[in-house]
Structure 1
Amino acid sequence: MADSTNRNHPTRRDFLKGAALTSGMIATAASGAAAADLGVSDTAPPNKRRPNVLMICADQFRADFIGASHKNSSVKTPHIDALAERGMNFRQCISNQPLCSPSRASFLTSRYATEAGVWRLGLELDHSLPTIATEFRKNGYSANFIGKWHVSATDGRKNLGWIPPGPSRGGFDDLWEGANVLELVSHPYEGNYWDNDGKNIGFKDEYRVDFIANRAVQFIERQHDKPWLLFLSQLEPHHQNDVDEFVPPKRYEDKYIDPYIPTDLRNLLGNWRSRIPGYYGCVQAIDDCVGTLVETLQRTGQLDNTIILFFSDHGCTFRTRMGEYKRSPHEPSIHVPFVIAGPGFDRSCVIDEVVSLIDMMPTLLDGAGLTLPASLRGKSLKKLGESAQARKNWDSTAYFQISQSICGRGIRTRDWSYCVFDPAVKNGQAESSAHYQDFVLYSIADDPNESLNLVGRPEYREIADQLRQELASRIVAAGEAETTIEPIHYYA
């Protein structure tokens, strides 16, 4: 197993230069009364020694759209790149369920989506499970949320907006503002948005990413009497559902007319030809947001004591796979960015071991020096930056579930991606199955674009048998019942 790649640690000046605000970026919001309007309570005693934690989630953000990670000549992410240079850049992070709600339920609890009670859209998180927020709050932190939630039950168009006080906040009981399903109650330049008291403050004539980032700026600028956890959840670059478009800010509307096309898309049908320019603009807006937040942390004297995590819940296939943007076992869907920097993580290294989003909660708790609940499925990633031996001993296998397109289960290793499904379950409308069959087998090492499905080919039967056995054991280890997996003996 290859060791991580270490680089010379950038200086503080270099890092701040990379995180500086550029022209046309988000204006700094006013502090003072505006910040107090966020309504965060301060009841626990101060604890200056523990780091703050900032989680920045960009919805549907492809892993190969970070300049520091991949050879993409068009993408511009200098602020995310600066985080990657300073901290730990996990280049092989897998979403355990590439769909908004199940993915969020999984990483918030470090349990698989079926265990967390949200295996498809529209379901409510199992509130008996500890979450990132409940654990930090139990240890003297304030737990705060801003943006898109999407981990609460919906009935038709009910409960798409503000989440009332109580368990539906998932433990983010100090500040909770935004909307449950933000893409259905807003558009890129106007929409509904609920504050901490349930008042619809809305926004208009301001780009959605900028508006949400400025709300986070106000939170960071206020006086904090105890360490804080902030989960900032941006909708972009997720497509705007009702128009099926990736809508960039006006400042980037015409910037990506003829951009670089990732190699996995070029030979496949889909809507990437018309949609990818807007996607690039949304990605750059997200990077602007990261730069704004880092600059605010620096200006307020909190940067050196804040763990910053940038990640996504799932990727984007541009409908090249199974007609889906996500909901598929393919790399552009399950492969996500995961970049972490700050106290304990400033290792200036690239990590190529396979990890998954289920490792997020234990990593952040470990980084803050807190005790990990025994119920967690994931493992802390912090040690992977500390020694070659830790990387050598790491189990580079990620288990994932697929729903609402197929009822599927899969594993992703350093070299292989393998998934099974139940063809009798239509549209994936079942939580699990007692009987699966082979669906896809790809050689990640030799065919990273997954252009050739190797399932059923006799020359790969031995590796398929090994992966099938491993997957069966992972299904049980994830708390599911034993299943049968039938091999496919013929291929197209």
Structure 2
Amino acid sequence: MYKNAPSPPPPVNGANTPPTSVSSSGQERKPNILFILADQIAAPLLRVHDKESRIKTPHIDALAEKSAVFTSAYCPSPLCAPSRASLVTGQLPTRINAFDNASALSVEEPTYAHYLRGNGYHTVLAGKMHFVGDQLHGYEERLTSDIYPGDFGWYPDRRLEWYHNSSSILQAGPCIRSNQLDFDEEVMYKATRYLYSAARNPESDRPFCLTVSLTHPHDPYTIHSEYWDRYEGEEIPMPQVSIPKEEQDPHSKRLQHVCDLERDDITDEAISRARRAYFGAVSYVDDNVGKLLKVLKECKMDDNTIVIFSADHGDMLGERGLWYKMSWFEGSARVPLLISYPQQWAPRTISQNVSTLDILPTLAELTGAEIDYRLPLDGNSLVPQLHGQSGVDTVYGEYMGEGTIAPLMMIKRGPWKFVTCPTDPPQLFNLEKDPKELQNLMTVRDNFEVEAIAEKFTKEASERWNMKQITDTVLRSQRKRTACWNALTQGRFESWDYQPKEDAGQQ
């Protein structure tokens, strides 16, 4: 897919040998891993990044105090399935044909679960991962099914009536029950039960990597009254950036159309209720983070467990008149990333640009798992940054899902964010001077420094991405999946959804 794509270097271990502890049998044991993944958390809104935030997240805040906190972490694609497929493989979407929410991840792509499992880890998944087709991808055990269908049923040309439309905003508020609450409660029950089971087997020299993937605070914007009531009497801040529809960039205009946001009945009250419900849903995630950390502590596994907290993408939540994700603006593309293991590195704040693509090589280096660097890999190990050293400061992103008519690509380096698309005018922002992304510097004239930077980014993008080839590949993939889906929906339908295996007699 790429022209002149660089090969990733091997990790820089130096003195950073994999951490170990001694088990009760006297043998060295690698650290356990608890990877908590939330769905659609906007990093700029969290208190760990904004001290003035109104969102109540005491458990995430406490975890941050013991973590390396990455303040400029980005998703590789601002949409669920492509972002997650890239996260688990450490590869950008065009490498693995992860174009939209109905793209199947090939079973031959190694994931962090494969590498850790090959290194002796029990790799376990509880919750959402949005796999299409194969539902394991290296996880030895999956404790729950997914919340979404694992099939070709929602490619961009086939919009599902319940998927990202204005009803999420107009009907926002408290609820007694939702399928998302049902799902996350099952995820938490199975995940905590797994941790207790691991604690019951202290003689085991096999460490675990447990991924707990919650579906909150993903829309629809509704949450149980317990969390809605937490914000009773609280001032819910409104979006800070309002841009008239006629002044929106072309991609934002398409997103407003695709997501049914062009209507006039989205009032300030509706926006406030949607944001309040979202705040409550983030607090719900925070409570569940607290529950998982409490289990680790009471089972005395906290001293030998690396804890990671992140998200697949963010949520615009009304900024610029946009909701959900699907754009490269900060609310959509920036994610939280906390990595905690105080026994090996001190808490610190890291401002360099990083990506969730970096999680795979980071976990591999931390655990001594061997990666075959003859295979494609776009992520970089964050171990140097964890120990206070410098690292790669460039992030690439790719988006080919809803709202696009051509590939929409992003480069973030230092304070600069460059967004390019064959059908849209390019965008260049300096986030240090313009954190709200209000001034597209591609329109600035007579500033030779900016013009030079813009020219360099433009050249880099043209050398990195063959836009016509990518477009042809995406369209071919969509046509193939359409043909398959049309056939599979005739006659007896065989679901690809994962059916958890559980022997009640062994409980």
- TM-score category, normalised to shorter length: 0.7 to 0.9
Contact 2:69 2:348 in 1 (8 A): yes
When residues 260 and 347 of structure 1 are mapped into structure 2, their CA distance, relative to the original with a 3 A threshold, is farther
Selected match of 2:397 from 397, 400, 403: 400
Q: How much does 1:475 deviate?
A: 3.4
Partner of 2:299: 300
Q: How much does 1:182 deviate?
A: 7.3
Partner of 2:184: 209
Selected match of 2:228 from 243, 249, 253: 253
When residues 273 and 441 of structure 1 are mapped into structure 2, their CA distance, relative to the original with a 3 A threshold, is farther
Q: 2:291 is paired with a residue of what secondary structure?
A: helix
Q: How many residues align?
A: 388
When residues 191 and 261 of structure 1 are mapped into structure 2, their CA distance, relative to the original with a 3 A threshold, is closer
Instruction: Give CA deviations for 1:162-189 in whole Å, capped at 9, x if unaligned.
Output: xxxxx4311112234121517989x983
Contact 1:118 1:151 in 2 (8 A): no
Residue type of the alignment partner of 1:414 = G
Partner of 1:378: 379
Q: 1:177 is paired with a residue of what secondary structure?
A: coil
Contact 1:55 1:231 in 2 (8 A): yes
2:461 corresponds to 1:471: yes
Residue type of the alignment partner of 1:340 = I
Partner of 1:189: 177
Q: How much does 1:261 deviate?
A: 2.6
Cα distance between partner residues in 1 of 2:113 and 2:463: 31
Q: What is the TM-score of this pair, normalised by structure 2? A: 0.70
Instruction: Give CA deviations for 1:446-482 in whole Å, capped at 9, x if unaligned.
Output: 1101122222322343321122123334437xx979x
When residues 266 and 182 of structure 1 are mapped into structure 2, their CA distance, relative to the original with a 3 A threshold, is farther
When residues 454 and 68 of structure 1 are mapped into structure 2, their CA distance, relative to the original with a 3 A threshold, is same
Structure 1 range deviating more: 273-282 or 261-270: 261-270
When residues 137 and 188 of structure 1 are mapped into structure 2, their CA distance, relative to the original with a 3 A threshold, is farther
When residues 48 and 294 of structure 1 are mapped into structure 2, their CA distance, relative to the original with a 3 A threshold, is farther
Partner of 1:123: 103
Cα distance between partner residues in 1 of 2:176 and 2:219: 10
Cα distance between partner residues in 2 of 1:76 and 1:324: 21
Partner of 1:173: 140
Contact 1:144 1:231 in 2 (8 A): yes
When residues 46 and 268 of structure 1 are mapped into structure 2, their CA distance, relative to the original with a 3 A threshold, is farther
Residue type of the alignment partner of 2:451 = R
Contact 2:242 2:320 in 1 (8 A): no
Residue type of the alignment partner of 1:317 = M
Residue type of the alignment partner of 1:189 = R
Q: How much does 1:144 deviate?
A: 0.8
Instruction: Using CA pairs under 8 Å that are at least 6 residues apart, name the structure with larger relative contact order, 1 or 2.
Output: 2
2:449 corresponds to 1:449: no
Give 1 or 2: higher helix fraction: 2
Q: 2:397 is paired with a residue of what secondary structure?
A: strand
Cα distance between partner residues in 2 of 1:131 and 1:180: 21
Q: Which runs of 5+ in 1 are unaligned?
A: 1-44, 154-166, 193-205, 241-245, 424-436, 482-492
2:277 corresponds to 1:278: yes
2:218 corresponds to 1:238: yes
Q: How much does 1:342 deviate?
A: 1.8
Q: What is the TM-score of this pair, normalised by structure 1? A: 0.72
Cα distance between partner residues in 1 of 2:225 and 2:322: 29
Instruction: Give CA deviations for 1:17-72 in whole Å, capped at 9, x if unaligned.
Output: xxxxxxxxxxxxxxxxxxxxxxxxxxxx9975111111111100011233222133
Selected match of 1:85 from 65, 87, 107: 65
Q: How much does 1:370 deviate?
A: 2.0
Partner of 2:336: 337
Q: How much does 1:345 deviate?
A: 5.2
* Pairs within 5 Å for 1:60-139: 60-139=40-119
Cα distance between partner residues in 2 of 1:176 and 1:208: 12
Partner of 2:257: none
Provide the identity percentage: 27
Give the superposed CA RMSD: 3.0
When residues 268 and 215 of structure 1 are mapped into structure 2, their CA distance, relative to the original with a 3 A threshold, is farther
Partner of 1:420: 420
Contact 1:134 1:170 in 2 (8 A): yes
Q: How much does 1:208 deviate?
A: 4.3
Contact 2:136 2:142 in 1 (8 A): no
